[in-house]
Homo-oligomer: A and B are copies of this chain.
């Protein structure tokens, strides 16, 4: 499914660490101490809305489910929060965030809340490595 016209939006690149590539999407991680946070970006140039993907919305759905299950198993979270917002960065991207009833913002959504405290770099890298293995993402 490669789309040679696609490249990761520079703002997403700046805000995240890459986990790896799935069949359709690049999987990224955001360093937020209390909110294990992954982002799927379908490697499709010019996709802004989910509906822009056409039939590629289905493999994206499968990847959301795969990443959801992996994140739930790794974090033992109480709830997953999934969102495609894109008001600031238009390139289609889907947030998948693990929430716990004891986290500081519960039950409020975390989308649009900035800045959030970060965890230390080594811990974040271990999290990214665990996610990569769990979902079988190809390292970049």
Contacts and interface: CB of A to CB of B under 8 A. Distances in A.
Interface of A: 48-51, 57-58, 60-62, 64-65, 68-69, 72, 79-88, 90, 99, 106-109, 111-112
A88 to B, nearest CB: 5
Give this chain's copy count: 2
Contact of A87 (B62, B81, B88): B81
7 contacts: A49-B80, A50-B65, A50-B68, A51-B69, A80-B84, A87-B109, A109-B111
A106 to B, nearest CB: 6
Contacts of A57: 61-62, 64-65
A17 B65 CA distance: 29
Nearest to A49: B80
Contact of A85 (B61, B65, B86, B109): B109
B87 A111 contact: no
A79 B86 contact: yes
Nearest to A82: B84
Given A51-B72, A80-B84, 18 more contacts: A48-B79, A49-B72, A50-B64, A50-B80, A51-B80, A57-B62, A57-B64, A60-B61, A79-B87, A79-B90, A81-B83, A81-B85, A81-B86, A83-B84, A83-B109, A83-B111, A87-B107, A88-B107
